[in-house]
Amino acid sequence: MTESSGDTAERIVVVGAGECGTRAAMALRERGFAGSITLLGREEVVAYERPPLSKAALADDDPELVHPWTPEQLAEAGISLRLGVDVTAIDREARTVVTDAGAMPYDRLLLTTGAGSRRLGLDHVHYLRTHAEAATLRDLVRAGGRLLVIGAGFIGLEIAAGARQRGMEVVVVEAADQALARMVPPVVADEVVALHADHGVQVRTGTTVTSVDEVAVGLRVGLSTGESLDVDAVVAGVGAAPHTELASAAGLLVEDGIVVDEQLRTSDPHIWAAGDCAAVPDARSGHRARVESWRSAHDQAVTVAASMTGGQEPHVAVPWFWSDQYDQMLQTAGLPTTAVSEVVREREDGSLIHFGLDAQGRLVAATSLGRGPVVAKDIRVAEQLIATGATPDPTALADPGTPLRSLR
Ligand SMILES: Cc1cc2nc3c(=O)[nH]c(=O)nc-3n(C[C@H](O)[C@H](O)[C@H](O)COP(=O)(O)OP(=O)(O)OC[C@H]3O[C@@H](n4cnc5c(N)ncnc54)[C@H](O)[C@@H]3O)c2cc1C
**Rounded percentage of the chain residues whose pLDDT exceeds 90:** 90
- Bridge partners of 288, per DSSP, are 281
pLDDT tens digits, 343-391:
999 998 889 999 999 999 999 999 999 999 999 999 999 999 999 999 9
Give yes or no for residue 185 having a pLDDT over 60. yes
Among 13-17, 210-214, 333-337, the least confident range: 333-337
pLDDT band for position 329 (cuts 50, 70, 90): very high
Side-chain half-sphere of 363: how many Cα atoms within 13 Å? 33
At 70-106, the pLDDT tens digits run 999 999 999 999 999 999 999 999 999 999 989 999 9
Ligand 1 pocket residue status of 53, Cβ below 6 Å: yes
Confidence band for 5, pLDDT divided at 50, 70 and 90: low
What structural domains and CATH numbers belong to the chain? 11-116+240-308 (3.50.50.60), 119-236 (3.50.50.60), 327-407 (3.30.390.30)
Spacing, Cα 251 to ligand 1 middle (Å): 23
User: Whole-number mean pLDDT of the chain?
Assistant: 94
Cα of 194 vs centre of ligand 1, distance in Å, is 29
What average pLDDT does this structure show over 336-341?
93
Q: What's the gap in Å between 242 CA and the centre of ligand 1?
A: 10
- In the predicted model, what is the mean pLDDT of residues 291-312? 96
Residue 6 has what pLDDT? Answer: 56
Which ligand 1 atom lies nearest to the CA of residue 278? 26
| Binding site membership of 320 for ligand 1 (Cβ less than 6 Å) | no
Three state DSSP letters for 107-172:
CEEEECCCEEECCCCCCCEECCCCHHHHHHHHHHHHHCCEEEEECCCHHHHHHHHHHHHCCCEEEE
| pLDDT range class, residue 4, cuts 50, 70, 90 | very low
**266 bridge partner residues:** none
Residue 404 alpha carbon to ligand 1 centre in Å: 33
- For 100-159, the pLDDT digits (tens) are 989 999 999 999 999 999 999 999 999 999 999 999 999 999 999 999 999 999 999 999
Report the C-alpha gap between 21 and 13 in whole angstroms. Answer: 10
Q: Is the pLDDT assigned to residue 3 strictly greater than 50?
A: no
CA distances from 258 to 38, 73, 218, 264, 319 (A): 21, 30, 41, 10, 18
Ligand 1 atom closest to residue 18's alpha carbon, by position in its atom list = 31
Let me know: does 285 contact 363? Beta carbons within 8 Å: no
Residue 57 pLDDT greater than 80, yes or no: no
Ligand 1 pocket check for 113: Cβ under 6 Å: yes
Q: Is 326 in the pocket of ligand 1 (CB under 6 A)?
A: no
CB 232 within 8 A of CB 238: no
Give me ligand 1 centre to Cα 318, in Å.
Answer: 19
CA–CA distance, 24 with 110 (Å, rounded to integer): 9
